[in-house]
Amino acid sequence: MASCTTTMMEQWKGQIAQGHDINVHTEFQNLTADIIARTAFGSSYLEGKQVFEMQRQQQVLMNKTFTTVYIPGMRYFKKIYLTHTYIKMY
């Protein structure tokens, strides 16, 4: 963890010296991925970058799947409920 963080901080120093802005959110995502990769697999984030990118894409697809669950016939329940409520009101 310390070596990954030290490397990141040295890169930041170089970017700051050149006057570049730092996207901290992305940098911390990369730091976390690098620490996980070195701890679990013995390699750096850059070596397994494609795997981490595929995991991010999988997370996006899973979120879309969970928010768009299709239940057959569900579109009719709303019509039945509204019709039933309308009849009770009058």
- pTM of the predicted structure, to 2 decimals: 0.52
Report the distance separating Cα 87 and Cα 23, nearest Å.
57
Q: How many domains does the chain have?
A: 1
Quote the pLDDT of residue 90.
45
| Segment among 7-21, 41-55, 57-71, 76-90 with least mean pLDDT | 76-90
Confidence (pLDDT) at 13: 93
Domain boundaries, position 56: 2-89
